[in-house]
Structure 1
């Protein structure tokens, strides 16, 4: 009973409406779309760049890329409910940057490192952008 009353609490409903309005802005839609594309690129990057012989890094990029793309799709469709997960996107970006050394050991090639570092940096910046939408004050 208490859970049901919390779901319909006026303050919670107003907060969700605020986050939904922020998520519908053109800037938020661009950031979410670019984050989605970054996630898709990360997922297919092993085949685009050619991570031959790096099966663990290939699997890592596939899984992490799909996770980032799904997170961005969630932000685009329901930011009011998912704004609390916005911190995950920059964290995925940081993981993407360090993954060639952590997952592959010290044998990653220049192209695998560059691909992950650039893609991770983009994911960090876009993730911080998505995170900032929930921190903006209403006017």
Structure 2
């Protein structure tokens, strides 16, 4: 016979006494009175829960690493886009600072423009040409 703590034993006796007394009315479709306390089931031991959580976290980490590896492989397979033929360097508040050709292309400080936009900015826009790539010396720009 298993040992039952005294508190639970008293509760079991009280419930048994209630079920036999006239004060206890059992309604139709009511479950029979029980002699157990109404407690939520105990959780699995903390060690097992922690182990399961660590296992799930490790699987998620492996999945993330696998996806990052696939993305890196995909990026290596795809060549970078070619630089634009013409570019304008952004200055203060987004105003054009200098006009460039593809020889000076820097994607962090410049944005690509068309040939017509480059000619317009060099001739009428007042944008100075780059001293290194000299876009104003390209054939057909200042004709």
- Do both share a fold (TM > 0.5)? no
Which TM-score applies when normalising by structure 1? 0.21
Pick the structure with greater CA Rg: 2
Q: TM-score, normalised by structure 2?
A: 0.21
